Chain A
Amino acid sequence: MLHFSTWKTAAIGALCLLGVIFALPNVLPQSVRDSYPSWFPARTIVLGLDLQGGSQLLLEVDGEALRKSRAIGLQEEARRVMREARIGTTGIDLNGMTVAVTLRDPNDLAKAQERLRTLAQPIGSSAFSPGTGQLDLEVGQRNANVATATLTDQGLQARVRQAVDQSLEVIRRRVDQLGTVEPSIQRQGADRVLVQVPGLADPQRLKDILGQTAKLEFRLVDPNFPIGQPPSGPLPAGSELMYEGGSEGNPGIPVVVERRVIVSGEDLTDAQPGFDQNNRQPIVSFKFNTRGAQAFAQVTRENVGRPFAIVLDNKVISAPRINEPITGGSGQISGNFTVESANDLAVLLRAGALPAPLNVVEERTVGPGLGQDSITAGTRATWVAAIFVIVFMFATYGVFGFFANIALVVHVVFIFALMSLLGATLTLPGIAGIVLTIGTAVDSNVLIYERIREEFRAGRSMVSAIESGFKHAFAVIVDSNSTMAIAAIILFLLGSGPVRGFAVVFLLGILTTVITAVTMTRLMIALWYRRTRPTTMPF
């Protein structure tokens, strides 16, 4: 047992060396790491936001809004296909997730259902999954003359998932526009996105920029209703009421616009903030793609003299009159912009619209001062804990304590090496975890040493006592560390953010302590024994 083959010794040595190599980048300055050859490990541990300072937002895709807009969209489409198929209806009503088409002639039922079926879309075929072949719409009938189309739960859920996927992209593009360093944008659970921006001390601007869906539409104003006058009586089915320039307590100027969208934000290729050449007001200028340019040119050519509305998130930004056909495929939006709001709008338009509104469900910000203080204090506590334990172990176990201390240092190096290798995040509770494992890491050695001592006092020889000590202590080391590991794994699975950071450190600590305390100290003791051939126990 005390015999170590050469290759085993070499393997342990190599492991230590690897540990040092992987842990080293964390203490080297950036310039040295940059000069490393590319194959050399230069990854460092990522500091959590609580240490680095910064903001994080947990955003939730508004599933309810998404369902509602999908249902309204379906109603619109049902209206369109009935009109196209020249099927007479007396009403197309929306009730929950079901659109009911009441037919003038019950004989049209099959035809109407046929048309409704064309509106169904396969579930989940868009993103990365190949699709299940299921459709997101169930077509049925309520009475002899009422055809129904119901959105299925599965379809709606798939739509939420898809919306999260799309949102991730849009969020990334928008956050990138803030010009911050290394923002992290991750999906979390079924309908959430976690956005972390290191170094951002006030997340209000981030929230402003993510708080709008930024759905831009160009629509014609309904010519039967003059701008500024609230409509008396019901609106035609193809028009709806919106407001321009509203604020808190003041709804703004009523504008009745057509539901039909001439061009939407998807057809923009560029948007830039600028100033109007005449009155020096901030504006946003934009360019359409070919499809957008053609559609816009056609509509403006046919409607010279009429006003059209630029609608952002169901609010009218401005409603200018079409003085001449706009055929160049570019234009400008003027409204009551400030320099900053014009800039923000340009950012939003370039990044594209969100498929659904996002709600902030959790928000955490740590100022840079607190983060730096935590690092300083955490580092100090780690050193003090290490010195306490090292002195105490040496005072108790003499040369054996010295071996345990070397193992302890290697243990900490291994934690850093593994965390760098895994790209794990070090949080403040993670630092606490390191300090705690410094205290518990020596437990394995204590178990072994006490056992050796016991065996020696029971009359065994040195070698026999050492061997028997390692052998007997091993089972209990496995058992006690396994129970610890179970608690740590559960913490890892359930915790998030900083708490998870603690679980990672604790789990890695348990793993490395078993390796260092059992294998490494045994090697050191074996080498020591071979060299000195002692006859009395050193402690």
Chain B
Amino acid sequence: MRLIRLFPDDSKFRFVRWRVLSFPFSAFITVTTVVLFLTVGLNFGIDFTGGTLMEMQAKSGQADLAAVRSTAHSFEVGEVEVQEFGQGGQVSVRFRTQPGGEGAQSALVQKARAAFQNDYEIRRVETVGPRVSGELVQSGTLGVVLSIVSVLVYLWFRFELNLAIGAVIGTLHDIVLTVGFFLITREEFNMTSIAAILTIVGYSLNETVVVFDRTRELLRKYKNIPTEELLDLSINSTMSRTVMTATTTALSLLALVLFGGQAIQGFANVMLFGVLICTYSAIFVSTPMLIYLGVKTSARAAADAKAEADAKAAQVRA
């Protein structure tokens, strides 16, 4: 039986050279995301804004958006967002937090239920109060920050500080690009999105750690190898594994995107994007970053400089 090989054996691709393209590219996207974040902003869900979300499905299979919109506006409760999603006439309606507190919100939900339940099956109703949404923003932000810091500390203990920094830069890059994905697709950003981001943090570090672990090992083996070559060798020798894992993970996420149903699709889309980004950044961002951060302690760095000088001298002689 002939087995699949996704990546050739004994490859000698010079990956880190591509940093002349990947660094400006990543920098550009990062800046764009930050600008978009500050100007356009994320499409925050009610977890973070507070308010009420209703999801319903037309009993006829065909949603009349205009009618839903005009009914919702007739409640005179300020801004209302009405959107169609998925198949089979599913509509989501989002109301803001009402002045007048919980009672007013509750009354609104009852009014909306009464108005829609003849033509629509009410599938989901969620109301998040302003205090809870404030807390969710806090714990979401705290979660992302805390995960980065604790992973930095873990890697610092297990590797060198500069490798840890390289890994965390790659992770930050992946977080920013994932946020960029939310900005461009206008996908709703809610507590599940935070879960997606934290999972991406885990996956991103996973990818980087595999390469760096090899770098560390090779460094012990070849004491006088130039950094760039060392990094290329690390990537090449782990590449078949990287491609394999990215493929299996992407395959299972693809199953989730295609068959997982409406409620989980947003999460699956983001994760699929995240896996691709993480694979890219491990190879083209965090690993080449080590050229500037240094791969070794100062004693080794001196030896490295000497080796490079020798290599140059050899080249000149040749």
Contact = CB atoms under 8 A, between A and B. Distances in A.
A190 to B, nearest CB: 12
Nearest to A498: B192
Main secondary structure, interface of B, reads: helix
Q: What range describes how many residues of A lie at the interface?
A: 35 or more
Nearest to B101: A359
Given A361-B131, A396-B244, A483 B206 contact: yes
B218 interface: no
Q: Which of A393, A435, A494 has the most CB of B within 10 A?
A: A494
Contacts of A50: 263
Given A454-B237, A480-B209, A378 B251 contact: no
B268 to A, nearest CB: 7
Interface in B1-23: 1, 3-6, 9-10
A125 B253 CA distance: 54
A442 interface: yes
A297 to B, nearest CB: 40
Given A429-B192, A483-B151, A398 B1 contact: yes
A360 B129 contact: yes
A479 B205 CA distance: 9
Interface in B125-182: 125-129, 131-132, 139-140, 142-143, 146-147, 150-151, 154-155, 158
B39 to A, nearest CB: 29
Interface string B241-259: 1001101111111111011
B253 A435 contact: yes
B276 to A, nearest CB: 13
Contacts of B121: 367, 369
Interface stretch (B69-77, B196-204, B222-230, B305-313): B196-204
A206 B274 CA distance: 41
Contact of A483 (B123, B209, B241): B209
Q: Which of B9, B251, B260 has the most CB of A within 10 A?
A: B260
A105 B14 CA distance: 96
A499 B9 contact: no
B127 A363 contact: yes
Contact of A447 (B6, B198, B202, B241): B241
B106 A360 contact: yes
A495 B146 CA distance: 13
Contacts of B155: 483
28 contacts: A201-B122, A204-B110, A361-B102, A362-B132, A364-B125, A369-B121, A370-B263, A374-B261, A374-B263, A376-B261, A377-B261, A378-B264, A381-B256, A385-B255, A393-B248, A396-B5, A396-B244, A429-B267, A432-B256, A439-B249, A439-B250, A439-B251, A443-B249, A475-B213, A482-B158, A483-B206, A487-B199, A487-B205
Closest 3 CB pairs of A and B: A377-B261, A439-B252, A439-B249
Interface of B: 1, 3-6, 9-10, 55, 57, 102, 106, 109-110, 113, 121-129, 131-132, 139-140, 142-143, 146-147, 150-151, 154-155, 158, 191-192, 194-195, 198-199, 201-203, 205-206, 209-210, 213-214, 217, 237-238, 240-241, 244-245, 247-256, 258-264, 267-268, 271
Given A436-B249, A490-B150, A503-B195, 4 more contacts: A363-B127, A377-B260, A439-B252, A447-B210
